[in-house]
């Protein structure tokens, strides 16, 4: 170490310490802010702040260098590059105000940045730098016990634009601060806006005074910038703290939501409801464990709509699909009942209701539904229906039985009398001298009793005929549909599949709907009995309604039973002919009578593919009316 140098440059240089510490402090704060931005790319104010800090740091180094410049050329060159830092400071300051305070007039902001960029170009093109066309000599002064450089030279006229630019920046900042204040964000307006205005104002003033030689000082903007960086850094750290507080709040809210979800789940599970949500956009299905249990899906298995559809009983699938269509394409909600067949083969009745959620365009995006097991209720329903049917049957049988019994008694009285009289007459005639008066009396009695028997029969016939038909135009589709709905529970209980095929645009028929339904009901129930007797694997009844010729509609009920033996086929419409242990043998004769009273025909035949088919025709309403 040279002792001469030690004298001219004290070992403890305060300027070096202050300026280099300022530069590194700016870099540190900027670095931290930059890292924050790296982890959260939406925190643009942090990015802008780090650029500001970088610019301030660079300018600090330039200042230190300029204070120690050995030649005018060196000073001019450093100042020229220092303007890059100034550009960065101005632009990032504008950006910071924009991103952090969300205020300031954008046209002013763009103008400031544009002018500053123009000045940067001028800085490199005109003269030595923006300040000086030529630095003529370097003067010296003492600062903090050290000798520092003060420049002298020819001023660059563009510097006036630079000064105007700084004034514009101050106006921009004041305007932005005022806007922030008025918006009600007063703390920020003061700490951020106020401090920026203050530091920019004083640093501009200092540089102007220095430039015009009013104050003999080197460029010491650093002193002010470090204050600005410190204030803004503090403000941003507060932001980080707020972010973490917000994060905690979010966590609390999430915990609350979880609690609500738990309660919901508890309520839903204790009510034995299963919940499922079908996301139509992502084509995903989510369901609670209870729902999975209802449908027999293991917990881990991925749910797909088609796989759920497979679980649904084949006869109820259409019902299920149309319910969902109603929700997604219709009024947005559905309510339905269907059967689910579990992998074990167990069948379960499910009641389900739900609602679709629509996006702004009215397009369904998801469907939420709740399902629960209604097997118990369904079973009870079926049982009560069965019971009702049984009671009705017993009623009918006993009524018919009483009728038949009364008829037999009434008829047997005169028949018995006739028989006994005839037998008595025979005995009288066997005697040697028959009492002819007695025999005449007997014959008169026989005639009387015969008339009596005839009267009884006539009375019965009038009694049975008293039922009159109330004929009016009837929609065949509705007629058949109502009967199908009526027998469906029985059919399900008896595991018989009902198929219905009604031709489109069928004309209405002219008849008594109640009596016609009775006929259809009778034929369908007969069909089910035939299936039960035969016990075939294929258990189905098909009801077909179609146009028969121009003026008649034909309705066919065919079953998959064994068919009707040929020797019986000709008798099935005879009164009191029955093959059933409990049968009265009156069903088919009554059916035929009803159809004939409608001017139609009812007949039976065996189908070539097996089973029997009963068909009847009815004339259309139009045809009957014109007749």
List contacts with other proteins (CB under 8 A): 405, 408-421, 423-424, 427-428, 438, 442, 445, 448-449, 452
Runs of H (alpha helix) within 40-105: 44-67, 72-96
**Which of 264/408 has CB closer to other proteins?**
408
C-beta pairs of 519-522 under 8 Å, 24+ apart in sequence: 519/591, 519/594, 519/595, 519/602, 519/616, 520/479, 520/480, 520/483, 520/555, 520/557, 521/483, 521/486, 521/487, 522/587, 522/588, 522/590, 522/591
Write the CB contacts of 483 (distance below 8 Å, at least 6 apart in sequence). 517, 520, 521, 524
Least CB distance to other proteins at residue 453 (A): 11
Instruction: Yes or no: say if 132 and 80 are a contact pair by the CB < 8 Å rule.
Output: no
Least CB distance to other proteins at residue 452 (A): 7
Instruction: Give the pair of three-digit tokens for residue 178.
Output: 């005022």
Least CB distance to other proteins at residue 401 (A): 10
Other Cβ atoms within 10 Å of 271 Cβ, number: 10
Instruction: Yes or no: say if 58 and 27 are a contact pair by the CB < 8 Å rule.
Output: no
Least CB distance to other proteins at residue 426 (A): 8
How many whole angstroms separate alpha carbon 58 and alpha carbon 86?
9
Instruction: Yes or no: say if 523 and 555 are a contact pair by the CB < 8 Å rule.
Output: no
Least CB distance to other proteins at residue 427 (A): 4
**Which of 413/615 has CB closer to other proteins?**
413
**Which of 147/402 has CB closer to other proteins?**
402
How many whole angstroms separate alpha carbon 26 and alpha carbon 32?
10
**Which of 438/458 has CB closer to other proteins?**
438
- Dihedral sign computed on CA atoms, order 239, 240, 245, 248: positive
**Which of 277/417 has CB closer to other proteins?**
417
Instruction: Give the pair of three-digit tokens for residue 369.
Output: 């539904």
Instruction: Yes or no: say if 49 and 72 are a contact pair by the CB < 8 Å rule.
Output: no
Least CB distance to other proteins at residue 403 (A): 13
Cα–Cα nearest to 56, from 27, 16, 98: 27
C-beta pairs of 203-207 under 8 Å, 24+ apart in sequence: 204/163, 204/166, 204/167, 204/170
Least CB distance to other proteins at residue 579 (A): 23
Cα–Cα nearest to 112, from 134, 137, 95: 95
Least CB distance to other proteins at residue 450 (A): 11
Least CB distance to other proteins at residue 524 (A): 34
**Which of 231/407 has CB closer to other proteins?**
407
- Residue 408, sorted as left (phi over 0), alpha (psi -120 to 50) or beta, turns out to be alpha
Longest dimension (CA), the chain: 192
**Which of 316/449 has CB closer to other proteins?**
449
Least CB distance to other proteins at residue 420 (A): 4
Least CB distance to other proteins at residue 431 (A): 8
Least CB distance to other proteins at residue 481 (A): 44
**Which of 405/467 has CB closer to other proteins?**
405
SS3 for 229-267, per residue?
Answer: HHHHHHHHHHHHHHHHHHHHHHHHHHHHHHHHHHHHHHH
- Dihedral sign computed on CA atoms, order 329, 333, 338, 343: positive
Least CB distance to other proteins at residue 448 (A): 7
**Which of 280/453 has CB closer to other proteins?**
453
**Which of 136/412 has CB closer to other proteins?**
412
**Which of 420/601 has CB closer to other proteins?**
420
How many whole angstroms separate alpha carbon 288 and alpha carbon 274?
6
**Which of 353/452 has CB closer to other proteins?**
452
Angle (CA) 362 364 365, round 5°:
120
**Which of 171/453 has CB closer to other proteins?**
453
Give the phi and the psi of residue 506 in degrees, each rounded to 5: -75, 135
């Amino acid at each position: 170490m040279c002792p001469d140098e030690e004298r001219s440059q004290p070992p403890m240089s305060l300027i070096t310490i202050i300026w280099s510490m300022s530069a590194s402090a700016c870099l540190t704060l900027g670095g931290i802010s930059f890292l924050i931005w790296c982890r959260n790319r939406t925190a643009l104010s942090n990015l802008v702040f780090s650029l500001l800090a970088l610019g301030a740091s660079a300018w600090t180094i330039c200042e230190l260098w300029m204070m120690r410049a050995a030649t005018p050329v060196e000073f001019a060159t450093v100042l020229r590059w220092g303007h890059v830092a100034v550009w960065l400071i101005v632009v990032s300051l504008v950006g910071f105000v924009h991103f952090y305070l969300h205020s300031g007039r954008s046209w002013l902001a763009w103008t400031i940045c544009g002018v500053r960029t123009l000045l940067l170009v001028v800085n490199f093109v005109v003269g030595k730098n923006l300040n000086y066309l030529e630095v003529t000599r370097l003067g010296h002064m003492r600062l903090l016990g050290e000798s520092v450089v003060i420049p002298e030279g020819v001023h660059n006229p563009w510097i006036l634009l630079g000064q105007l630019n700084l004034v514009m920046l101050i106006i921009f900042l004041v305007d932005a601060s005022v806007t922030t204040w008025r918006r009600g964000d007063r703390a920020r307006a003061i700490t951020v806006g106020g401090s920026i205005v203050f530091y920019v104002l004083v640093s501009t003033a200092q540089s102007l005074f220095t430039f015009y030689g009013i104050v003999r000082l080197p460029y010491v903007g650093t002193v002010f910038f470090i204050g600005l960086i410190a204030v803004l850094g503090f403000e941003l750290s507060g932001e980080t703290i707020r972010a973490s507080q917000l994060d905690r709040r979010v966590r609390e809210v999430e915990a609350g939501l979880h609690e609500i979800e738990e309660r919901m789940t508890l309520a839903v599970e204790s009510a034995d409801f299963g919940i499922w949500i079908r996301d139509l956009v992502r084509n995903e299905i989510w369901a609670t464990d209870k729902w999975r249990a209802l449908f027999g899906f293991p917990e881990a298995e991925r749910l797909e709509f088609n796989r759920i559809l497979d679980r649904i009983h084949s006869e109820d699938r259409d019902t299920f699909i149309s319910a969902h269509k109603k929700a997604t394409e219709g009024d947005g909600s559905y309510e339905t009942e269907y059967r689910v067949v579990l992998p074990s083969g167990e069948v379960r009745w499910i009641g389900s209701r739900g609602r679709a959620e629509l996006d702004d365009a009215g397009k369904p995006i998801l469907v939420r539904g709740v399902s629960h097991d209604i097997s118990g209720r369904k079973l009870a329903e079926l049982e009560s229906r069965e019971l009702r049917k049984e009671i009705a049957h017993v009623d009918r049988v006993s009524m018919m039985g009483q009728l038949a019994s009364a008829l037999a008694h009434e008829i047997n009285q005169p028949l018995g009398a006739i028989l006994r009289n005839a037998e008595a007459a025979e005995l009288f005639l066997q005697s040697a001298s028959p009492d002819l008066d007695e025999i005449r009396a007997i014959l008169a009695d026989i005639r009387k009793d015969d008339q009596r028997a005839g009267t009884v029969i006539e009375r019965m016939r009038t009694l049975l005929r008293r039922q009159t038909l109330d004929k009016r135009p009837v929609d065949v589709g509705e007629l058949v549909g109502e009967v199908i709905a009526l027998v469906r529970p029985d059919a399900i209980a008896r595991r018989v599949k009902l198929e219905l095929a009604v031709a489109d645009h069928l004309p209405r028929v002219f008849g008594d709907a109640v009596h016609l339904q009775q006929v259809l009901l009778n034929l369908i129930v007969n069909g089910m009995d035939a299936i039960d007797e035969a016990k075939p694997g294929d258990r189905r009844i098909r009801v077909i309604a179609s146009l028969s010729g121009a003026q008649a509609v034909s309705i066919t009920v065919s079953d998959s039973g064994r068919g009707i033996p040929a020797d019986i086929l000709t008798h099935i419409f005879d009164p009191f002919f029955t093959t059933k242990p409990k049968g009265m043998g009156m069903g088919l004769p009554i059916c035929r009578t009803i159809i004939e009273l409608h001017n139609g025909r009812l007949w039976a035949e065996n189908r070539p593919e097996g089973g029997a088919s009963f068909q009847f025709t009815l004339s259309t309403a139009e045809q009957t009316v014109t007749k």
